[in-house]
Structure 1
Amino acid sequence: MIRRFGSSPSAADFEALAHAAFARIPAPFADHLDGIVVRVEEFADAETLAAVGLSDPFELTGLYHGRPMDKGSVWVAGELPPRITLYRQPLLAEWCETEVMLEDLVTHVVIHEVGHHFGLSDAAMHALEDGAP
């Protein structure tokens, strides 16, 4: 008997999961998310990996690109809108290696990157997660 598996979730599926995660972010935070663009790529490129101090493309599941809100100014012009990039292959690998539901995994990454939009550091977000009930 041949086992058949469905196709892996597409970039469009990941984008839909990301938008669903945005929809669950409560006010007043949700009020400050207009204009954030979500992109899905297979992997981060070598330049992006080097910029965040990584060499293994499977180590980066998402990245915030843009000026955090606490660094914004009305005098800044000509910048692209903030965006969150999800890296599909690393997310699929983590999904396969863990028992975490894909929706929960994508939500976790989106929330983490939204934290960067609000100016939170990785250390601050980990401290918040560790203190969460």
Structure 2
Amino acid sequence: MADAMSGQEVLGQAPDADAIERIARDTIARLPGEFRAHLGDVVLIVEEFADEETLAALGIEHPLDLTGLYHGRPVGEKSAFDSAPLPDRIHLYRRAILDEWVETGVRLDDLVRHVTIHEIGHHFGLSDDDMHALEDAVAD
């Protein structure tokens, strides 16, 4: 059997939500300390698909077109005057991630790392270039 994380042909079941979460948490653990220090209150959620309300709000028609989403306000926009906001959340959508994994042949751990860092980038208000640099910093 091929390595389930490599993107090579795999026999058996697709990686479950726990496997996706482990990769995402490993990604977070590899971030530079100045980023990790501001992620303590961010909730990581792995779901099968985005719900209909989320898809409609984003103008996305098919749930396999959304692999991840950040809900919250970027760190630089937060204020001490915010009234009891919900915790910031990073959603990873397992089925969309697996669909992209199969379609692209990218290693699953690389893909989950990419999606996780992209959503973390929204938390920090980073540009795409900054997100790519951060992704390079945590790569194997």
TM-score, structure 1 normalization: 0.85
Identity of aligned residues (%): 50
Q: CA RMSD in A?
A: 2.1
**Alpha-carbon distance in 2 for matches of 1:82, 1:28:** 18
| Residues 1:126 and 1:53: Cα distance change in structure 2 (over 3 Å) | farther
Quote how far apart the aligned CAs of 1:43 are: 0.7
Structure 2 counterpart of 1:81, one-letter code? P
1:77 paired with 2:80, answer no
Q: Which residue is equivalent to 1:17?
A: 23
Q: Which runs of 5+ in 1 are unaligned?
A: none
Q: Which residue is equivalent to 2:71?
A: 65
Q: Which residue is equivalent to 2:39?
A: 33
Q: Which residue is equivalent to 2:97?
A: 91
Quote how far apart the aligned CAs of 1:77 are: 2.6
Q: Which residue is equivalent to 1:117?
A: 123
Show CA shifts across 1:43-69 (max 9, x none). 111210121221111110000011111
**Count of residues paired in the alignment:** 126
**Alpha-carbon distance in 2 for matches of 1:30, 1:55:** 34
Quote how far apart the aligned CAs of 1:128 are: 5.9
- Paired residue secondary structure (2:92): strand
**Alpha-carbon distance in 2 for matches of 1:26, 1:112:** 15
Show CA shifts across 1:19-73 (max 9, x none). 0110111132222111111111111112101212211111100000111111101
**Alpha-carbon distance in 1 for matches of 2:92, 2:86:** 17
Say if 2:117 and 2:131, in contact at 8 Å, map to a contact too.
no
- Paired residue secondary structure (2:33): coil
Say if 2:20 and 2:94, in contact at 8 Å, map to a contact too.
yes
Q: Which runs of 5+ in 2 are unaligned?
A: 1-9
| Residues 1:111 and 1:128: Cα distance change in structure 2 (over 3 Å) | closer
